[in-house]
Amino acid sequence: MNDPFYITTPIYYVNDEPHLGHAYTTVLADVLARYARLRGDDTVFLTGTDEHGQKVERAARERAITPQQQADAMVMRFQETWDRLHISNDDFLRTTQPRHVRVVQSALQALWETGDIYAGVYEGWYCVPDERFWTDKDVVDGLCPDCGRPVERLAEKNYFFRMSAYQDWLVDYIEAHPGFIRPETRRNEVLGFLRQLLGDLCISRPIDRLSWGIALPFDPEYVTYVWFDALLNYVTAALTPSPLPIPVVKGEDWGRGLLESDSRLAALWPHCVHLIGKDILTTHAVYWPTMLHALGLPQPRMIFAHGWWNVEGIKMSKSLGNVVKPLDLADIYGVDAFRYFLMREMTPGRDASFNLDLIASRYRSDLANDLGNLLSRLVTMIGRYCGGQVPTPDAETDVDAALRTKAETVIGPTLEAVEALLVNDALALAIELVREINRYLETTAPWLRAKAGETARVATILYTAAEALRLASVLLNPVMPERMTVLQRSLGLGEHPQQREDLVWGMLQPGNAVVTGEPLFPRDIEAAR
């Protein structure tokens, strides 16, 4: 039996609007989850929303509604976008859900009991209009870096997580586990950050400044601030659903007790992969590991930080007005073509460029010309030369065997590339198989064989090409699930979840009636731009 696979995205802040970066992370996680299911892994795919904080509270006040009502309204933008983009998440966690509140408060209490959370004074530059603290390096000429208005020096009581106590442990752990933070450039970045003295983490805000948050169980005059709440979502979702309170225990006994009492957490957690953007690397690779260690939970298997999308060579930014909305592109090219572009164009871990010419080129060459045209040609020829049914192949020649071997031998490297998180390389292999099928048809020329009356030879050629295309569609299905289902239906196959058994040569049954229909990827789609 394969190991479980637990894949997570960050939880997205509800007052944001889904953009290309959100879509990339979530589609990548979805693709990895679908490939894991194809391998037969027991897969859990988590995404969700971060719903506490000042922006939600302020927006609710302006609309004269409750913060919960504001969060309920905003979360729909993400849920609707993920539905449109064929995201197959098994769970959608909202930090306002009672199941999450009980985990956060229980973890806070556990660390309070051992002194890993303590009361202290937080001092910094405070922007009154934005209700936000800034550090010395953030403030420029006494002005808020966000709104440009003057800041004032403010000191107040708050609560801190004793993160500094675990700095040496964290450095040793990262150095002993080279695959923990990936790619290697991000691992080196974290180790570089940890060469400076690590401070403690302020994890609270007084309710007279911020009331929309999870109350500290040991001081109801304060709420949990930002990352301590948000990061624990990964643990919440891995637990067996239960309305019962988590027993209050101290420090490391908290995590050990959960692992001993919850078989689902014990099974999933060692196989957890956090997929994040590189802008939140420090929170996930420094704050989070120290929190887990203090709580007695082991580390996730991997933290993978992908790069940014640059638009016309410039980092995508709301302030620059170059944010790309994913549904706009999906409306033009189709959801699956958009998913394909995201996965094919970015090498995970590196930055990637986006412009409309790039997606148009990928669509035209890989999808419309190579893949879509191949299906259309095959279905047309089977209809014309084989009575519209998948033919029974005759004796295999060397050229047929070469295509079969190509199709069979591409499977392993494709899945290996996915396991290495190199989905772009996996797609290159699958599309190369599609191109090999096109070359095979040009070499064997079944239309000439048909004119010569070589019925048995035509049957073998068309079956071999169709079966190789079926295998390619199984490999491409995690990226383009809707279009590959249409492709397989065109070859006379019924709909079913893709599984490892589908990656065996000969699963296409002779006698199946092929189905003609609209082009898989219409060539005239550019007119919609």
Are 302 and 360 in the same domain?
no
Q: What pLDDT, on the 0 to 100 scale, is given for residue 436?
A: 98
Average pLDDT over residues 30-55: 96
For 175-203, what is each residue's pLDDT tens digit? 999 999 999 999 999 999 999 999 999 99
pTM of the shown model: 0.94
Supply the range of the domain harboring residue 401. 356-528
Beta bridge partners of 410: none
Q: What pLDDT, on the 0 to 100 scale, is given for residue 130?
A: 66
Confirm whether 36 is domain-assigned. yes
Are 374 and 238 in the same domain?
no
Residue 306 pLDDT greater than 80, yes or no: yes
Are 276 and 425 in the same domain?
no
Average pLDDT over residues 227-248: 91
Q: What pLDDT, on the 0 to 100 scale, is given for residue 131?
A: 62
Q: What b-and-e string marks burial along 5-14, b requiring 16 or more CB atoms within 10 Å of the CB?
A: bbbbbbbbbb
Are 272 and 387 in the same domain?
no
Which residue, of 243, 277, 306, is where some domain finishes? 306
Are 248 and 391 in the same domain?
no
Average pLDDT over residues 427-444: 98
Cβ–Cβ under 8 Å, residues 213 and 52: yes
Are 494 and 381 in the same domain?
yes
CA–centroid distance for 158 within its chain:
35
Cβ–Cβ under 8 Å, residues 337 and 84: no
Q: Which residues contact 188 (CB under 8 A, 6 or more apart)?
A: none
Are 90 and 212 in the same domain?
yes
How far separated are the first and last CA of the chain, in Å rounded? 48
In this prediction, residue 314 has a pLDDT band, given cuts at 50, 70 and 90, of low
Which residue, of 265, 282, 306, is where some domain finishes? 306
Q: What pLDDT, on the 0 to 100 scale, is given for residue 15?
A: 84
Residue 122 pLDDT greater than 80, yes or no: yes
Residue 204 pLDDT greater than 90, yes or no: yes
Identify the CATH number of the domain in which residue 521 sits: 1.10.730.10
Q: What pLDDT, on the 0 to 100 scale, is given for residue 321?
A: 54
Confirm whether 336 is domain-assigned. no
For 450-473, what is each residue's pLDDT tens digit? 999 999 999 999 999 999 999 999
Coil vs helix vs strand at 515 = coil
Q: Give 208 or 349, the one with higher predicted confidence.
A: 208
Q: What pLDDT, on the 0 to 100 scale, is given for residue 527?
A: 40
In this prediction, residue 46 has a pLDDT band, given cuts at 50, 70 and 90, of very high
- Of these ranges, 14-23, 302-311, 357-366, 397-406, the one predicted with the greatest mean pLDDT is 397-406
Q: What pLDDT, on the 0 to 100 scale, is given for residue 501?
A: 93
Average pLDDT over residues 368-380: 97
Identify the CATH number of the domain in which residue 85 sits: 3.40.50.620
Confirm whether 324 is domain-assigned. no
Confirm whether 149 is domain-assigned. no
Q: What pLDDT, on the 0 to 100 scale, is given for residue 12?
A: 95
Residue 317 pLDDT greater than 60, yes or no: no
- Average pLDDT of every residue of the chain: 92
Number of domains in the chain: 2
Which of 28-32, 104-108, 243-247, 379-383 bottoms out in mean pLDDT, i.e. has the lowest? 243-247
For 146-177, what is each residue's pLDDT tens digit? 788 899 998 899 999 999 999 999 999 999 99
Are 375 and 480 in the same domain?
yes
Q: What is the rounded distance in angstroms from the CA atom of residue 328 to the CA atom of residue 514? A: 33
Which of 129-138, 152-161, 497-506, 507-516 bottoms out in mean pLDDT, i.e. has the lowest? 129-138
Are 85 and 214 in the same domain?
yes
Are 297 and 370 in the same domain?
no
Share of the chain above pLDDT 70, in %: 96
Residue 74 pLDDT greater than 60, yes or no: yes
Residue 36 pLDDT greater than 50, yes or no: yes
Longest dimension (CA), the chain: 91
Which of 60-64, 194-198, 246-250, 270-274 bottoms out in mean pLDDT, i.e. has the lowest? 246-250
Beta bridge partners of 205: 223
For residue 45, what is the enclosing H or E element? strand 43-50
- Take residue 506 and report the two structure tokens written for it: 């000969």
Are 279 and 386 in the same domain?
no
For 268-300, what is each residue's pLDDT tens digit? 999 999 999 999 999 999 999 999 999 999 999
Q: What pLDDT, on the 0 to 100 scale, is given for residue 218?
A: 97
Which of 23-37, 142-156, 210-224 bottoms out in mean pLDDT, i.e. has the lowest? 142-156
Are 275 and 386 in the same domain?
no
Confirm whether 325 is domain-assigned. no
Confirm whether 333 is domain-assigned. no
Burial of 220: CB neighbours in 10 Å, binned 0-12, 13-18, 19+: exposed
Q: What is the rounded distance in angstroms from the CA atom of residue 195 to the CA atom of residue 211? A: 36
Residue 316 pLDDT greater than 90, yes or no: no
In this prediction, residue 374 has a pLDDT band, given cuts at 50, 70 and 90, of very high
In this prediction, residue 324 has a pLDDT band, given cuts at 50, 70 and 90, of low
Q: Give 424 or 140, the one with higher predicted confidence.
A: 424
Helix, strand, coil percentages (3-state) for the chain, rounded to 5, are 55, 15, 30
Confirm whether 340 is domain-assigned. no
Confirm whether 121 is domain-assigned. no
Residue 529 pLDDT greater than 50, yes or no: no
Burial of 280: CB neighbours in 10 Å, binned 0-12, 13-18, 19+: middle
